[in-house]
Amino acid sequence: MTDTQTAQIESEAPAATHAAETPEALIARLAKAGRAAQAQLARMTTAQKGAALIAAAEALRAAETDILAANDKDMAAGAERGLSGALLDRLKLDTKRLAGIADAVAQVAALPDPVGQVIDASSRPNGLALSRVRVPIGLIGIIYESRPNVTADAAALCLASGNAALLRGGTEAVHSNRAIMAAFQRGLAKAGVPAEAVQLIPTQDRAAVGAMLTAQGLIDMIVPRGGKSLVERVQNDARVPVLAHLDGICHTYLHASADVAMARSIVLNAKLRRTGICGSMETLLIDAAFPAAQAVVADLLDAGCEIRGDARARALDPRILPASDADWDTEYLDAILSVAIVDGLDAALAHIDAHSSRHTDAIVTSDDAVAEEFLTRVDSAIVMVNASSQFADGGEFGLGAEIGIATGRLHARGPVALEGLTTYKWLVRGTGQTRP
């Protein structure tokens, strides 16, 4: 670590960081405290964890003055640094948003507790009784960007699933995050949960992120929440397992048999309801035999959506721009859509296989056999029939919340909430059996 970095740490977090502590030593110290707290948390009942979350929600409400004052500092610094209006809006807290954050924490208390759930059980011919029971993962590291609500959301989800959390927020929200965390911890302490069950890294030194990513044996899983460059850095550098959410290059395929009115309403919603979320449609595949392609693209164009199409799509409307090769692999997160005309289900599946980020892909069809074939053959985290891809969300799936939407293949896939923050252990009950 250079002297400059040390100075930075000290100036930003004089109280919590020891003067000559390396980033590795800092992370090790916090992780050990988190693990010790987690060992207590793992033994708490659902009611105890719920009471702690209710207390944390109350403490957030009670700390409104402090939290909004801290947020004002972040907003002023952000404006000075020239953050965009969209980024400043993400950063902004007010009475209503803070109440929403507190309510969300309280709502997590009402979710079913996965810890202790029996996944399956069997008994062996020799009389051994086996079962698999869900247990917390341990200490979860969360690395996130601008939105300060993640501080409370992620802490609540980890706590409810019996895990400790070590959070590293973005520099632009540093004061807001600290104020939220201080209130959250006060609530926990009031309810008898060690405050170290959730901790915020007290420094914005980037080397602390590197130390988190390589803290094998201390941090059990890292969840990056933020843009593609953050997630890619975490995936490349991590030695700790990562539950990552990469792009959502989501497709909707209008089959020849699609109901026209349904197709038009799903397409508009999937693209334009909110363009900045990962479940928004980025590519529309229209079957050459679908009878109302012109109306579908006109709806979008009339609503102000830019369309980039292949040669056959461009023939539908003069307002359609030519698509480049790169368009088929682009997550616009904006009112832009790539459109291709495809000849039948196999061609649609081939396009999806080549270009999907395997987040969410959908078909609109009135042919049940085609629907089932699409569901079987598309290998994405979420595959939909006759619905808007904007439903790709833990809340909409009934999970009550989400820590993220996993685009990897292992451990958990798609929206991840409490269950995805657990693992299991095997319990074996015998009566003296020895192995022959």
Distance of CA 301 to the CA centre of its chain: 31
Q: At what angle do helices 206-213 and 228-237 cross, to 10 degrees?
A: 50
Helix (H) or strand (E) holding 190: helix 174-190
Give 18: exposed, middle or buried? Use CB within 10 Å, 0-12, 13-18, 19+: exposed
Q: How far is the CB of 291 from a copy of itself (least distance, A)?
A: 17
For residue 118, the SS3 value is strand
Nearer to a copy of itself, 25 or 121 (CB): 121
Q: How far is the CB of 261 from a copy of itself (least distance, A)?
A: 8
Nearer to a copy of itself, 263 or 342 (CB): 263
Of 324, 320, 329, which Cα lies nearest the Cα of 293? Answer: 320
Q: How far is the CB of 385 from a copy of itself (least distance, A)?
A: 5
Q: How far is the CB of 428 from a copy of itself (least distance, A)?
A: 4
Q: Buried (b) or exposed (e) across 275-293, using 16+ Cβ within 10 A? A: beebbbbbbbbbbeebebb
Cα–Cα distance, 72 to 87 (Å, whole number): 14
- Residue 144 neighbours by CB distance under 10 Å: 23
Nearer to a copy of itself, 98 or 243 (CB): 243
Q: How far is the CB of 89 from a copy of itself (least distance, A)?
A: 21
Q: How far is the CB of 220 from a copy of itself (least distance, A)?
A: 5
Torsion, Cα 35 213 158 360, to 10 degrees, reads -160
Nearer to a copy of itself, 177 or 365 (CB): 365
Q: How far is the CB of 128 from a copy of itself (least distance, A)?
A: 6
Q: Is there a contact between 337 and 325 (Cβ–Cβ < 8 Å)?
A: no
Please give the order of strands across the beta sheet that includes 139-144.
198-200, 164-168, 139-144, 221-225
Nearer to a copy of itself, 87 or 133 (CB): 133
Nearer to a copy of itself, 65 or 122 (CB): 122
Q: How far apart are the first and last CA of the chain?
A: 57
Nearer to a copy of itself, 81 or 239 (CB): 239
Nearer to a copy of itself, 11 or 123 (CB): 123
Task: Indicate the pairing of strand 306-309 with strand 321-322.
Answer: parallel
Nearer to a copy of itself, 219 or 293 (CB): 219
Where along the sequence are the contacts to a copy of itself (CB under 8 A)? Answer: 39, 42-43, 122, 124, 128, 130, 135, 137-138, 216, 220-221, 235-236, 239, 241, 243, 259, 262, 265-266, 268-270, 273, 353, 371, 375-377, 379-388, 390-391, 396-398, 408-411, 413-415, 423-435
For the chain, how many residues are written?
436
Distance of CA 152 to the CA centre of its chain: 14
Q: Is there a contact between 213 and 222 (Cβ–Cβ < 8 Å)?
A: yes
Q: How far is the CB of 234 from a copy of itself (least distance, A)?
A: 12
Distance of CA 252 to the CA centre of its chain: 22
Q: How far is the CB of 56 from a copy of itself (least distance, A)?
A: 25
φ, ψ for residue 338 (rounded to 5)?
-95, 140
